Amino acid sequence: QKEVEQDPGPLSVPEGAIVSLNCTYSNSAFQYFMWYRQYSRKGPELLMYTYSSGNKEDGRFTAQVDKSSKYISLFIRDSQPSDSATYLCAMIDYTGTASKLTFGTGTRLQVTL
């Protein structure tokens, strides 16, 4: 069983829809939770991160962490065609001096006009 599970999609939604992306994990030692966005043929770029449980909002994006259920979510409001990308969840069990990330497989999102 993978440490981090993520539905690969693809997920297709119309412009303006609310999108919900989710990951589950098994390692209770994970402390930091991130969402990366990856456009086609590009490297991932950090979208949001949260520490421990709770919600964090940034514009149209909301990240939610429920450590008791080992479940994280990313909500995108008023989705735009420019949001079409692969979204990767990532987590870290911080040890030592290097930040070793564990990634989900990514969910491919397509926002249509």
Partner 1 sequence: NAGVTQTPKFQVLKTGQSMTLQCAQDMNHNSMYWYRQDPGMGLRLIYYSASEGTTDKGEVPNGYNVSRLNKREFSLRLESAAPSQTSVYFCASSERRAGGGWNEQFFGPGTRLTVL
Which residues are CB-neighbours of 58 under 8 A, at least 6 positions away? 48
106 in contact with partner 1 (CB under 8 A): yes
49 in contact with partner 1 (CB under 8 A): yes
50 in contact with partner 1 (CB under 8 A): no
96 in contact with partner 1 (CB under 8 A): yes
Residue pair 21/73 in contact by the 8 Å Cβ criterion: yes
Angstrom distance (rounded) from CA 65 to CA 41: 29
Angstrom distance (rounded) from CA 61 to CA 58: 5
75 in contact with partner 1 (CB under 8 A): no
Angstrom distance (rounded) from CA 64 to CA 62: 7
Give the end-to-end CA distance of the chain in Å, rounded to a whole number.
Answer: 37
Out of 4, 21, 65, 76, the residue judged to bind partner 1 by CB under 8 A? 4
Q: Which is nearer to partner 1, 71 or 94 (CB)?
A: 94
Q: Which is nearer to partner 1, 14 or 96 (CB)?
A: 96
14 in contact with partner 1 (CB under 8 A): no
Residues that bind partner 1 (CB under 8 A): 4, 6, 8, 31-32, 41-46, 49, 51, 88, 90, 92, 94, 96-101, 103-106
